[in-house]
């Protein structure tokens, strides 16, 4: 028997970092004051049936993205549930401990309808539909329309969900992606959401495609990125079985679901040495 296949995320991630370090456009970002190396239009693609896309070239906190995706399905903007597991969104908290542009709130309430519920019903009634689009971006409040500096503007701003070849496929579009901190978190999180949705629709998982309009590395992370690309890729694929009734349990804010998923992934996860605490550029 041959060796098991390598973790696909590590392979694609290391290649993207190399391209940005070698060929990225080096410019000072006016909003942050930091120099970035950036490339446009980068894409990652994973067959989720072959393993969970999780970065092992350095250690990442597993419970953060798990709790976040459960919180999204709850449709809340108050941080109370998420803060039981992580403080990652605290810097974006506004009045009453809420994040006004919280992704899950925008999925489920912000636009006057429940986009996620509509998506599930659409694909249950018509599995061939190509209309399964969910938005986190509000053109009346974000980006061009905003006259004031906001604490949080969605980076992943839309995703499509389709059943192709009998399998659930998700295409996530990210307008701006910090490749050292945001990207591994976003990919793992939306992979998990794909498993949730697939299980709800009673179909197997298919492909997760992630398209990034601006993939960048901040100046304070250049040395970290150089170290990552020098590390050998050794970790095998990471199997994952979605717990039963995960979608419904997430909607109900079941804390045990977070722990079950964490325990399962942790058993399969042997990351390389941590790079230490890297500062988030806000």
Q: Tell me the backbone φ, ψ of residue 56, rounded to 5 degrees.
A: -115, -5
Tokens 């969605």 — which residue?
154
Buried b (16+ CB within 10 A) or exposed e, 19-55: ebbeebeeeeeeeeeeebbbbeebebebebeebbbbb
Residue 191: closest CA among 168, 212, 213: 168
Residues labelled catalytic: 155
Contacting residues for 260 by C-beta, under 8 A, at least 6 apart: 243
CA distances from 281 to 101, 180, 185 (A): 18, 11, 15
Sign of the CA dihedral with 51 first, then 75, 85, and 263 last: negative
Contacting residues for 107 by C-beta, under 8 A, at least 6 apart: 72, 73, 75, 114, 115, 116, 134, 136
First-to-last alpha carbon distance for the chain, in angstroms, is 48
């Amino acid at each position: 028997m041959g060796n098991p296949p390598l973790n696909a995320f590590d392979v694609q991630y290391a290649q993207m970092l190399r391209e940005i370090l070698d060929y990225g456009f080096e410019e000072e970002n006016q909003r942050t004051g930091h120099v970035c190396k950036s490339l446009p239009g980068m894409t990652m693609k994973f067959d989720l049936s072959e393993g969970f896309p999780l970065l092992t070239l350095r250690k990442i906190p597993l419970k953060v993205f798990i709790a976040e995706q459960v919180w999204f399905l709850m449709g809340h903007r108050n941080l109370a549930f998420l803060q039981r597991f992580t403080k990652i969104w605290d810097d974006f908290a506004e009045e009453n401990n809420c994040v006004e542009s919280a992704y899950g709130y925008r999925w489920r309430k912000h636009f006057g309808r429940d986009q996620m519920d509509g998506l599930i019903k659409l694909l249950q009634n018509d599995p061939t539909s190509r209309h399964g689009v969910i938005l986190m971006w509000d053109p009346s409040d974000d980006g061009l329309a905003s006259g004031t500096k906001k604490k949080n503007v969605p980076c992943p701003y839309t995703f499509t969900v389709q059943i192709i070849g009998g399998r659930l496929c998700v295409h996530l579009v990210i307008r701006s992606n910090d490749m050292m901190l945001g990207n591994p978190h976003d990919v793992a999180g939306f992979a998990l959401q794909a498993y949730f949705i697939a299980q709800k629709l009673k179909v197997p998982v298919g492909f997760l495609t992630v398209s990034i309009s601006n993939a960048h590395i901040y100046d304070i992370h250049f040395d970290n990125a150089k170290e990552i690309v020098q590390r050998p890729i050794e970790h095998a694929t990471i199997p994952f079985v979605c717990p039963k009734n995960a979608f419904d349990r997430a909607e109900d804010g079941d804390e045990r679901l977070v722990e079950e998923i964490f325990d399962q992934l942790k058993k399969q996860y042997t990351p390389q040495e941590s790079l230490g605490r890297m500062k988030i550029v806000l």
